């Protein structure tokens, strides 16, 4: 029988999930009820923890179309299960986008039209349901998961989420079929499917959070342990555990609820606004934004608004602030979607609308419309295409609410280790039962003793002990100005080996500063000038180009636009004036924007003035009108304008952009011969250089002709005018911090919403890309016109059309000249790509994605969801990824990263686990240092707690063989006075003062840690068993009774009086074996505490942890005093018996030998052993800023060499990025050669490999 075909939702996307249908089964449900009753509720807890088991145990599998419950499983490495209940909805149609007005009955006889099992719907939806007669109603099935609703699709025979108007809708269809608006009834019909247009974050009640926290397996085990102790009369330690658990639970609840409240407040702000909706009859209706559905027509007010949904602009122009999406507070101009029916080519220009591909026409939810422009009284209209959680803002919030799980090996290994302890406990459990039965112990005692051995082996205090180091690290972080809302992430930060940085506001200050200009006259450069506003330059073509070549606009009287354009314009000291709305409405054409010097007054118009007089001849007035703009193009790397001096007869063309690009568009005789050398001088110092050019246009070129002339015709045969030299100032701490991270072999990556040129320039300036390193632009193009997707590899010396200057060309050629082609020459290169290329690569070049990420350093023009995808992609390569940003656009990436730190206390802090109150990246190394210290503390504490449980397990097991046990106050003394005090003081070691290249193990299952734990277990067992057996071999030994007199010949006869009158010990606590085991085990706890308390290079040395030192010394003194100089009261309280003084001295000798052996094994054999140097990481002379991956690979190679000598052979690196780096070191075709193109295989090709073609 063939294998059943699997069904998927979100197939072939990052959110892909398998889906299975189930329906309830009565007899299975009854069996589960019986099982829950018989197990005392344990089975119910197990089913609560395992959703897939709960469904399979109570339901039977069925077809999806009949399912009452669906099981969802992610297809990523975590394979996480989710369950969802299927509901039914009563509607007049099955398609959310169909026009069902004709089916809606206007008369209703019965309001109760919902089926008995139907899911509750909002009151606003019921208005439509009351209009549906029962014979017209259709049942639509759906379920909700992670704030997304999935409806049954008969065509697909599967559940599918609603896409609104973003799936398969052409430009022409938008204008012809969707531009008239919806009627009220049709809007209500669609609202049944799409729901309210709101992005709502529900704040869980304290009770719900409490239940979720208390039902954690650790707390359930604590309840079990306390119950067992209560039956055993061991109340004191149980009370201590209860107090610690309550404190832990309250702290967790406060933190989690605070995080939900912050996110709720952030999302709720401006989420509901009043909007103007254009109905099908062309009437304007005021409504709440929550009532919007796809297909509604919004009228955008002239004074702007906050967009409550994703919509496409149908008419007019909008100035929009998209900082919520991009992090860049640069107003963007949105233009209306072209109507192919009105163009000359007609439907030949028709395209399928996609918000991500047509951002220039799309107004995204959460962005701010600052100002609108309309002509001749025409309204600015937009078509709603997505609402609620389907919008861009909604998806961002969903990525915060439901982040993909971060895999941390420590926690996985901790569970595995606990399972091992459970196995050990099972052995003790069976041993206790069998031994007790053979010795005819009563059943009640057998049950209590056998369960007690489990609570001893698996310490209930382990969660509190593991949390201690994190709590202390959190307090230290707070003193450093770093707040934390997810304390468990602190440990993970100790493993970070790759940090993604946002650029603007994170690495750099906001914007650019102009350093100076260098003009050209007579084909040669003049000396650099810093005073641009001086009078002699006011009427020069150079300053005119600076004043007119931009896309600036006035918004509420304030000049806004690209920061680069704004800075250049402000440097001229000129004034920009635009036509008012009233003036614009009087003309069919746009009134020109005018610029003029600020110091000249407006002249009065004199009667009889010759209108043909040129403005240059006027004594006081000089104004330039901008006739046409060709906006900046990232592919062309330039922009231009056509302008005219008011009153002049000729128009001028002005051009600015990347120097190499501008020089190629200019007449060769106007470009200085020393052009490349001058560029080198500036760019090598980290300046950003912009070139300017100009030319006079023919006098016959009229205003109407200019509007139709091609861009290429304007941007040719220009005259080179000179250079503008600009600085993108780094924050003072940026270079130092990046250098510190580089020394620690922590890779740094820039991911920004800014353009590629600025990003690469900043990466070089801050040291992220070193001067001698190559930059390779990966320009990926999607499939088009029958051609497959392609990647063009643009080396810096071949990318003159794509980079701003020849800086990198010159520097790289000079630095690499004669450097040879050695094995690690290949390491000094970096890939750079923008958001569009990243999308193409992730979709069409999956096999190349990891190779690009391995050396990817600059990721520009990245959308918020792309930042999150990038972080996830790095995580899939086994990097531990940190993210540092300051904007709302970074929220998803901050949440997804192993360690996200926000430099802003606004939107980003609601999603980020960490928030710095200081807006610089100095917090990053501080966080990593504290994370390493906390992780090292967790290792130490876990090892100590493991040894504590095993040592106590050995003690109890040995005493069980004599039908004895430790006394209650002995347990209490060990657990409270020794263990808890040691654990909390051991966790106080502060972080080491600097980051080191050495890395901590990521988990407990590593050779060094396992050897450390196992060796100490063996040592403790040997000395404890030896002492237990040795005491029986003493000449004075006998079965102890209250009348025993072994101390009569001893110097110590203090306890005889009491022992002679003591009542019979019913539980057989008092005996020589108990006293011996108690003393030996107590000292063993102190020995392993000292041995396991490690310091440098991740924590301060333990001798500087004064509370720990004092605690250990005091405990040693107390234990030595009790053992060597017994006091009757203390012996009575601890239920100890008197032993000869000679045996006390012998125990002291055994303890000293135990301490020496433990210390030598841990410190000498593990930390200082000669064999460890064979595996120690070596510095191979590679640059740590750029060759971290190859360095680790070569280190692994060295290890493999030694392993081969020792007979171990070559080992495959565990981390995927290390394995890939090793493979690429021997790949002769990587990195791709210059002037090559990589093509994706056609869809029909099964093999996913790509082809690299050489372009001649």
Pairwise CA distance, residues 1051 & 187, whole Å:
98
Pairwise CA distance, residues 1231 & 857, whole Å:
14
Pairwise CA distance, residues 502 & 504, whole Å:
6
Phi, psi dihedrals of residue 747, rounded to the nearest 5°: -75, 145
CB of 394 within 8 A of CB of 388?
yes
Helices (H) then strands (E): counts for the chain: 42, 42
Q: Which two tokens stand for residue 818?
A: 């004669």
Phi, psi dihedrals of residue 877, rounded to the nearest 5°: -90, 10
CB of 720 within 8 A of CB of 691?
yes
Longest alpha-carbon distance in the chain: 137
Q: Which two tokens stand for residue 487?
A: 């304390």
The catalytic position among 310, 413, 452, 502 is 502
| Residue 490, CA distances (Å) to 260, 723, 909, 993 in order | 20, 48, 16, 17
Annotated active-site residue 502? The verdict is yes
Tell me the DSSP string of 298-331.
Answer: EE--TT-EE-SSEEEEEESEEEEE-HHHHS----
Q: What is the dihedral of CA 228, 232, 233, 235, to 10 degrees?
A: -30
Q: Which residue reads 């959070």 in tokens?
A: 209
Pairwise CA distance, residues 329 & 310, whole Å:
19
Rounded to the nearest angstrom, the gap between the alpha carbon of residue 125 and the centroid of all alpha carbons in its chain is 37
With left for phi above 0 and alpha for psi between -120 and 50, is residue 624 left, alpha or beta? beta
Q: For the purposes of burial, counting CB atoms within 10 Å of the CB of 287, is it exposed (0-12), middle (13-18) or buried (19 or more)? A: middle
Helix%, strand%, coil% for the chain, nearest 5: 45, 20, 35
Q: Which two tokens stand for residue 287?
A: 């409504």
| Residue 917, CA distances (Å) to 1, 259, 480, 482, 902 in order | 63, 17, 9, 6, 9
Enclosing H/E stretch for 896: helix 891-896
Per-residue buried b or exposed e for 369-407, using 16+ beta carbons within 10 Å of the residue's own CB:
bbbbbbbeeebbbbbbbbbbbbbbbbbbbbbbbebbebe
Tell me the DSSP string of 398-434.
Answer: HHHHSPPPPP-HHHHHHHHHHHHHHHHHHHHHHHHHH
Pairwise CA distance, residues 168 & 170, whole Å:
6
List the alpha helices (DSSP H) in 699-795: 703-708, 711-714, 734-743, 756-766
Pairwise CA distance, residues 569 & 548, whole Å:
8
Pairwise CA distance, residues 975 & 238, whole Å:
11
CB of 1024 within 8 A of CB of 965?
no
| Residue 681, CA distances (Å) to 687, 810, 811 in order | 9, 10, 10
Phi, psi dihedrals of residue 752, rounded to the nearest 5°: -140, 160
Q: Which two tokens stand for residue 935?
A: 């992780």
Q: Which residue reads 């998806």 in tokens?
A: 395
With left for phi above 0 and alpha for psi between -120 and 50, is residue 694 left, alpha or beta? beta
CB of 562 within 8 A of CB of 632?
yes
| Residue 982, CA distances (Å) to 491, 986, 1084, 1087 in order | 20, 6, 13, 11
Catalytic residues: 502
């Amino acid at each position: 029988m063939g294998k059943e075909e699997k069904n998927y939702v979100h197939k072939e996307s990052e959110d892909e999930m398998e889906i299975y249908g189930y329906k309830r089964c009565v007899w299975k449900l009854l069996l589960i009820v019986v099982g829950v009753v018989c197990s005392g509720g344990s089975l119910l807890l197990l089913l609560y923890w395992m959703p897939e088991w709960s469904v399979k145990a109570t339901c039977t599998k069925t077809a999806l179309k009949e399912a009452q419950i669906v099981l969802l499983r992610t297809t990523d490495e975590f394979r996480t299960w989710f369950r969802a209940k299927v509901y039914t909805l009563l509607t007049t149609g099955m398609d959310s986008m169909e026009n069902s007005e004709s089916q809606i009955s206007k008369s209703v006889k019965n309001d109760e039209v919902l089926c008995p099992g139907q899911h509750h719907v909002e009151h606003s939806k019921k208005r439509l349901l009351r209009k549906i007669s029962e014979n017209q109603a259709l049942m639509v099935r759906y379920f909700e998961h992670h704030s997304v609703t999935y409806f049954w699709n008969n065509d697909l025979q599967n559940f599918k989420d609603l896409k609104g108007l973003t799936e398969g809708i052409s430009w022409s269809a938008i204008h012809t079929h969707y531009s008239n608006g919806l009627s009220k009834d049709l809007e209500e019909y669609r609202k049944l499917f799409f729901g309210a247009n709101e992005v709502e974050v529900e704040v869980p009640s304290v009770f719900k959070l409490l239940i979720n926290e208390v039902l954690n397996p650790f707390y359930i085990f604590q309840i079990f342990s306390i119950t067992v102790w209560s039956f055993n009369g061991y109340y004191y330690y149980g009370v201590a555990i209860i107090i610690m658990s309550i404190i832990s639970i309250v702290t967790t609840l406060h933190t989690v609820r605070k995080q939900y409240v912050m996110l709720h407040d952030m999302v709720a702000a401006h989420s509901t606004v009043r909007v103007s909706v254009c109905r099908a009859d062309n009437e304007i209706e005021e409504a709440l934004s929550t009532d919007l559905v796809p297909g509604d027509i919004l009228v955008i007010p002239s004074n702007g608004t906050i967009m409550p949904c994703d919509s496409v602009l149908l008419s007019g122009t909008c100035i929009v602030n998209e900082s919520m999406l991009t992090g860049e507070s640069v107003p963007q101009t949105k233009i209306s979607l072209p109507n192919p029916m009105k163009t000359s080519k007609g439907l030949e220009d028709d395209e399928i609308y996609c918000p991500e591909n047509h951002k220039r026409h799309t107004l995204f939810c959460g962005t701010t419309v600052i100002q609108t422009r309309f002509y001749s009284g025409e309204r600015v209209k937009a078509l709603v295409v997505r609402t609620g959680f389907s919008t861009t803002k909604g998806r961002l919030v969903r990525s915060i609410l439901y982040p993909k799980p971060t895999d941390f090996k420590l926690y996985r290994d901790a569970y595995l280790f606990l399972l091992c302890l459970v196995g050990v406990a099972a052995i003790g459990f069976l041993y206790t039962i069998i031994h007790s039965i053979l010795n005819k112990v009563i059943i009640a005692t057998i049950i209590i003793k056998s369960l007690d051995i489990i609570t001893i082996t698996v310490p209930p205090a382990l969660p509190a002990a593991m949390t201690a180091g994190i709590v202390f690290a959190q307090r230290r972080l707070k003193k450093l100005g770093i707040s934390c809302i997810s304390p468990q992430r602190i440990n993970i930060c100790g493993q970070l080996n790759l940090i993604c940085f946002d650029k603007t506001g994170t690495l750099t200050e906001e914007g650019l500063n102009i350093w100076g200009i260098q003009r050209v006259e007579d084909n040669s450069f003049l000396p650099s000038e810093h005073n641009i506003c001086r009078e002699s330059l006011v009427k020069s073509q150079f300053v005119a180009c600076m004043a007119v070549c931009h896309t600036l606009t006035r918004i509420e009287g304030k000049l806004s636009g690209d920061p680069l354009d704004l800075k250049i314009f402000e440097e001229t000291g000129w004034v920009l004036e635009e036509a008012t709305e009233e003036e614009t409405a009087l003309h069919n054409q746009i009134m020109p924007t005018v610029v003029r010097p600020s110091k000249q007054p407006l002249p009065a118009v004199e009667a009889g003035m010759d209108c043909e007089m040129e403005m240059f001849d006027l004594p006081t007035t000089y104004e330039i009108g901008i006739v046409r703009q060709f906006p900046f193009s990232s592919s062309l790397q330039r922009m231009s304008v056509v302008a005219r001096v008011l009153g002049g007869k000729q128009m001028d063309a002005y051009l600015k952009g990347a120097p190499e690009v501008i020089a190629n568009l200019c007449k060769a005789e106007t470009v200085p011969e020393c052009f490349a050398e001058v560029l080198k001088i500036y760019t090598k110092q980290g300046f950003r250089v912009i070139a300017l050019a100009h030319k006079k246009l023919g006098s016959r070129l009229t205003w109407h002709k200019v509007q139709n002339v091609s861009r290429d015709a304007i941007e040719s045969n220009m005259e080179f005018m000179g250079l503008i030299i600009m600085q993108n100032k780094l924050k003072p701490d940026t270079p130092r911090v990046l250098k510190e991270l580089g020394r620690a072999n922590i890779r740094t990556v820039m991911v920004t919403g800014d353009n590629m040129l600025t990003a690469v320039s900043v990466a070089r300036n801050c040291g992220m890309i070193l001067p001698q390193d190559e930059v390779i632009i990966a320009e990926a193009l999607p499939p088009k016109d029958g051609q497959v997707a392609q990647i063009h590899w643009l080396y810096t010396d071949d990318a003159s059309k794509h980079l701003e200057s020849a800086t990198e060309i010159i520097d790289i050629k000079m630095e690499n000249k004669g450097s040879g082609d050695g094995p690690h020459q290949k390491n000094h290169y970096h890939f750079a790509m923008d958001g569009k290329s990243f999308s193409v690569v992730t979709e069409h070049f999956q096999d190349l994605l990891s190779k690009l990420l391995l050396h990817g350093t600059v990721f520009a023009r990245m959308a918020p969801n792309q930042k999150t995808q990038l972080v996830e992609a790095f995580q899939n390569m086994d990097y531990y990824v940190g993210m540092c940003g300051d904007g709302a656009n970074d929220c998803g990436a901050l949440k997804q990263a192993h360690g996200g730190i926000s430099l802003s206390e606004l939107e980003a802090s609601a999603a980020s686990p960490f928030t710095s109150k200081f807006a610089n990246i100095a917090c990053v190394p501080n966080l990593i240092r504290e994370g390493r210290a906390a992780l090292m503390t967790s290792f130490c504490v876990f090892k100590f707690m493991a040894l504590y449980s095993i040592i106590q397990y050995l003690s109890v097991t040995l005493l069980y063989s004599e039908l004895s046990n430790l006394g209650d106050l002995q347990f209490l003394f060990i657990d409270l006075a020794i263990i808890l005090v040691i654990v909390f003081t051991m966790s106080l070691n502060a972080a080491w003062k600097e980051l080191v290249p050495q890395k901590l193990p990521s988990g407990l299952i590593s050779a060094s840690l396992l050897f450390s734990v196992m060796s100490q277990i063996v040592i403790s067992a040997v000395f404890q068993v030896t002492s237990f057996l040795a005491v029986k071999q003493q000449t004075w030994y006998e079965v102890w009774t209250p009348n025993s007199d072994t101390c009569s010949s001893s110097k110590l006869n203090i306890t005889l009086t009491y022992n002679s009158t003591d009542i019979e010990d019913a539980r057989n606590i008092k005996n020589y074996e108990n006293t011996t085991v108690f003393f030996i085990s107590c000292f063993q706890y102190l020995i392993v505490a000292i041995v396991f308390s490690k310091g440098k290079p991740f924590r301060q040395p333990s001798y500087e942890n004064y509370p720990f030192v004092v605690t250990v010394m005091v405990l040693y003194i107390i234990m030595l005093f009790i053992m060597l100089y017994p006091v009757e009261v203390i012996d009575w309280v601890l239920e100890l018996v008197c032993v000869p003084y000679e045996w006390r001295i012998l125990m002291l000798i055994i303890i000293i030998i135990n301490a020496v052996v433990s210390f030598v094994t841990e410190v000498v054999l593990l930390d200082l052993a000669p064999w460890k140097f064979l595996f120690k990481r070596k510095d191979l002379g590679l640059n740590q800023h750029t060759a971290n991956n190859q360095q680790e690979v070569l280190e692994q190679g060295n290890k493999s060499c030694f392993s081969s000598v020792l007979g171990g052979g070559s080992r495959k690196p565990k981390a995927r990025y290390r394995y890939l780096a090793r493979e690429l070191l021997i790949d002769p075709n990587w990195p791709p050669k210059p002037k090559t193109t990589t093509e994706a295989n056609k869809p029909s090709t099964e093999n996913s490999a790509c082809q690299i073609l050489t372009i001649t």
